[in-house]
Amino acid sequence: MTVPEGSKNSLESDTPPAPYATDGTDFQGAVRYYHGVVLKKFLKVFPVFLILWVQIFVTQIGYLLPVAIVGMLGTVFTLFLLVERLTLIRKCSKVFRTYPLEFRTPVEKYSMESTHTLFLRFGGQGGTPFTLRAKDALRGRWPVGITDGVWFAGDEPFGGAFIVPGGGEMLFLQPKDWNEAEKYRKDAGPERVEKARRAGIERPARLR
């Protein structure tokens, strides 16, 4: 489901200032912070679901089977979520290690899907001629102040990652329609293609 245009501003994140520099000088701080938060979230719920699951093997009490099923499903889901989030963080880190961060402004907000996926474009001179799809490993709302600009690393026809000043949100992005951006990738040249390969953005990623 796509959020209507008029509702976008009401769905902005209320994230407090980041505990690391968000001026394009400390992407490693953003990566470390995201790793820490993801692991804390995982460790807060995973042991609970795991206990609910394994208790059936210890107690051998039949009427606790529904509880064990809930625990099993919760265990699998939290593991899946952990892998997905860590994969997204790893993708951002790889991009930041390959490309320099540059400030891009303004950012044009287009829409947001219920899957916590944001659709946007970089505006201004030399803006993006196609829509980009962005994903945050932790949050699913529009970062406050994103329209004022972000610290971007990457190559738009292939994708990249960015950090939002202030709140420090870190998002991975690629073209919404990979085929639409194909003509721009064909004009990229071997050096840009090789750089995209090193950054892990030479192919479309699965952003759930």
Please check whether residue 12 lies inside any domain of the structure.
Answer: no
**Is 55 found in the same domain as 115?**
no
pLDDT score at 98: 97
Kindly give the pairing relationship between strand 107-113 and strand 102-104.
unpaired
Q: Which pLDDT score is estimated for 14?
A: 62
Residues 34 and 90 in one domain: yes
pLDDT score at 125: 63
**What number of CA atoms fall less than 13 Å from residue 2's CA on the CB side?**
9
The number of distinct structural domains making up the chain is: 2
Which of 66, 96, 126 is the C-terminal boundary of a domain?
96
40 and 83 inside one domain: yes
d(CA 114, CA 4): 11
In a shared domain, residues 183 and 113: yes
pLDDT at residue 5 in the model: 44
Q: In terms of residue numbers, what domain contains 92?
A: 27-96
The helix/strand/coil state of 124 is: coil
Domain endpoint, select from 55, 80, 96? 96
188 DSSP assignment: S
Per-residue pLDDT of the chain (208 residues), as tens digits, is: 454 444 444 456 567 788 999 999 999 999 999 999 999 999 999 999 999 999 988 888 888 899 999 999 999 999 999 999 999 999 999 999 999 999 999 999 999 887 678 999 998 766 788 999 999 999 888 999 999 999 999 999 999 999 999 999 999 999 999 999 999 999 999 999 999 999 999 999 887 6
Residues 90, 123, single domain; the answer is: no
Residue among 91, 208, 205, 109 nearest 153 (CA): 91
Is residue 138 in some structural domain?
yes
Residue 34 lies in a domain: yes
Tokens of 159: 């994708």
For residue 57, how many other CB atoms are within 10 A of its CB?
A: 8
Q: How many CB atoms lie within 10 A of CB 203?
A: 11
